[in-house]
A and B are shown apart, each in its own frame.
Chain A
Amino acid sequence: MISGISIYHILTLTTILFFIGIYGFITRKNLIAILISIELILNASVVNFVIFNTYLYPDMLQGVFFSIFIIAIAAAESALAVSIIVSFYRMLASVDVKDTETLKY
């Protein structure tokens, strides 16, 4: 627990982080930037789990464990996403969203 900072401050922070991620996912034009936005979303929930655990249920560890699993799986996800983007880049020499529009409607 951090003295002087209530749980509301941190929850506000994570919610803002989450919606920055959603905004970035919708508006970015670069595939890597979209991936970064997704990391923001995942990290917002990681911080949420840790904060709920420390502030509300300090005698248990479920939230902390959950966050460790999320971090590990997020790493696997971004590795796979980057590798698919790399194989796309080899074909087109581009990582722009506007080049991924051959499949539409």
Chain B
Amino acid sequence: MNLEMFLKMQNELLLVVLLLAVLVGEIITSQKGKSKLINFTIIAFAIVTLIGFFHQPDGALFGGMFHTNSLIQLLKNGLNVGVLIILMQSAGWLKETLVKQNKSAEFFLLMFSSLIGLNFMISAGDFLMFYVALELSTLPVAALVAYNAYKRQSAEAGIKLILSATLASGLALFGISFLYGTTGAIYFDDMANLLQMSNLTILGLVFFFAGLSFKVSLVPFHFWTADVYEGAPINVTSYLSVISKGAAVFILTFILFNVFKAFSDIWKPMLYTVAIATMFVGNLFALRQQNLKRFLAFSSVAQAGFMLLGIINGGVLGAASVVYFVLVYMFSNLGAFGVVQAISHKTGKENMDDYNGLYRTNPMLSMVMMLGLFSLAGIPPVAGFFGKFFLFTAAAGKGYYILVFIAVVNATISLYYYLKVIRAMFLRQSENPIPYFKNDIFMKLGLATAAAGILILGLYSPLYEYVQSISNLIFN
């Protein structure tokens, strides 16, 4: 036992240090220094993100409660980059709105504690760690959703999120208690060896899956998604839809592949039906949305359905395609959300009709939006196409041809509504389009990073090969 052991959790430790630094900085800075504190925090977080790329530790801590390897570190880096993009996109909003209300530093505190929770969650080696980390990642987000204290919709969304998240964790806990009762173990490894097929364990699996489905917003449990996404501030919405969903998909894959390995006859048909329902409901409801936040909410429900196609493969190929798609989806969604954020911050407009003729006034923003939406829809040169392609390959490799066919039909439906936004921006004309405006440097950087991520992930193939070469690590 020496202190160097703790370098295995360097990412979490660095984030805790940063969080404390922001807390102290908030206390000692004057009112005028607050916007400098915002710049400092973003730059410090960028450095933390960079460190993650250089030092990649392996191994387990605390008797196996915490473990990490290159695949988990890759995902943690991805989450860090995603949060960095979100913070850069929200810098202007923070400086102009929240500094006046004197609650800009709390935004960082809550976001970083939620990110620490997600990091611990994907590194968890037993159910206790998993549960505590799940709550640590959910509770701060609920506070962030209700951040606009004087807006009715924000409080309403906060209530909806916290109540459904607690119900979800209650369901998952009830399932875990059955699994504990049948095996006497809470470690993932021990439980995988001891689990035997019985009605009680299947009930436990179903409850656990239901609990985690809330977090991923799969279909019977997706009702909170659109409401919360619409009511929350936009950067919180993109955090919920990208970062927290990506981590939850990864841990769902990890637990199904490891703990419930012997149960694949049970969870594969379950995923099959849930995937079909999720894709159809997400896509068909997205068709009739006018508010862009709700529209992207339902599109993210549909994308979660596509991710299940990778999980259903149950092997290394499935894991690789899911991790790759999570990274791709992150950049694409952040690009789209970033543009919605920029426009909503400057003009307060969030509806699809407001975007008519956007290309003539703000060509750069419309280009980024187009890249993001093309990537979400899966149009060839950009990353989203390859993400979907590998997911479909993974499902077809195990003989799920009907499921792949249904997924392709859904991808076509989704193309229609993504193109609706693009048509509004490029082809429609408007009497009073959104006027031209300049974005601050952080917003530009955030959008540029997202756009670069979309293009690089799609065009530079060694990245996918790298993901595939390390994704056998998902099996402990």
Contact = CB atoms under 8 A, between A and B. Distances in A.
Interface residues of B, number: 40
A81 B162 contact: yes
Nearest to B186: A62
A42 B173 contact: yes
B131 interface: yes
B184 interface: yes
B413 to A, nearest CB: 19
A74 to B, nearest CB: 8
Interface string A1-35: 00000000000000000100100010000010011
B167 interface: yes
B171 A41 contact: yes
Interface stretch (B22-30, B45-53, B81-89, B175-183): B175-183
Contacts of A49: 177, 180
Interface in B187-237: 226-227, 230-231
Interface in B109-145: 127-128, 131-132, 135, 139, 142-143
Interface residues of A, number: 40
B155 interface: yes
A102 B142 contact: no
B135 A52 contact: no
B166 interface: yes
Contacts of A91: 150, 152, 155
Given A38-B167, A77-B135, A88 B159 contact: yes
Contacts of A102: 152-153, 156
Given A21-B170, A60-B184, A66-B186, A100 B159 contact: yes
B448 interface: no
A41 B159 contact: no
Contacts of A80: 139, 142-143, 162
B184 A56 contact: yes
B426 to A, nearest CB: 28
A87 B146 contact: yes
Contacts, number: 114
B131 A88 contact: no
B142 A44 contact: no
Give the secondary structure class of A's interface.
Answer: helix
A77 B170 CA distance: 11
Contact of A52 (B142, B180, B227, B231): B180
B139 A77 contact: yes
A93 interface: no
Nearest to B158: A84
B162 A18 contact: no
Contacts of B159: 31, 81, 84-85, 88, 100
B160 interface: yes
B266 interface: no
B149 interface: yes
Contacts of A84: 142-143, 146, 155, 158-159, 162
B128 A69 contact: yes
A87 B231 contact: no
B174 A52 contact: no
A105 B139 CA distance: 25
A65 B126 CA distance: 13
Q: In this complex, which of A87, A100, A103 has the most chain B Cβ atoms within 10 angstroms of its Cβ?
A: A103
A99 to B, nearest CB: 8
A103 B166 contact: no
Contacts of B178: 48
B215 to A, nearest CB: 15
A58 to B, nearest CB: 10
A89 to B, nearest CB: 9
B163 interface: yes
B162 A45 contact: no
Q: In this complex, which of B149, B166, B169 has the most chain A Cβ atoms within 10 angstroms of its Cβ?
A: B166
B171 A52 contact: no
B157 interface: yes
A96 to B, nearest CB: 11
A41 B180 contact: no
Q: In this complex, which of B149, B158, B185 has the most chain A Cβ atoms within 10 angstroms of its Cβ?
A: B158
Nearest to B128: A66
Interface of A: 18, 21, 25, 31, 34-35, 38, 41-42, 44-45, 48-49, 52, 56-57, 60, 62-63, 65-66, 69-70, 73, 76-78, 80-81, 84-85, 87-88, 91-92, 100, 102-105
Top 5 nearest A-B pairs (CB, nearest first) are A41-B170, A48-B177, A52-B181, A45-B173, A103-B227
26 contacts: A41-B171, A42-B166, A44-B174, A45-B170, A45-B174, A48-B177, A52-B180, A56-B181, A62-B180, A62-B184, A62-B186, A73-B135, A77-B135, A80-B139, A80-B143, A80-B162, A81-B163, A84-B142, A84-B158, A85-B159, A87-B149, A91-B150, A100-B160, A102-B156, A103-B227, A103-B230
Given A77-B169, A87-B158, 9 more contacts: A31-B159, A41-B171, A45-B174, A52-B180, A69-B128, A69-B132, A73-B135, A76-B135, A100-B160
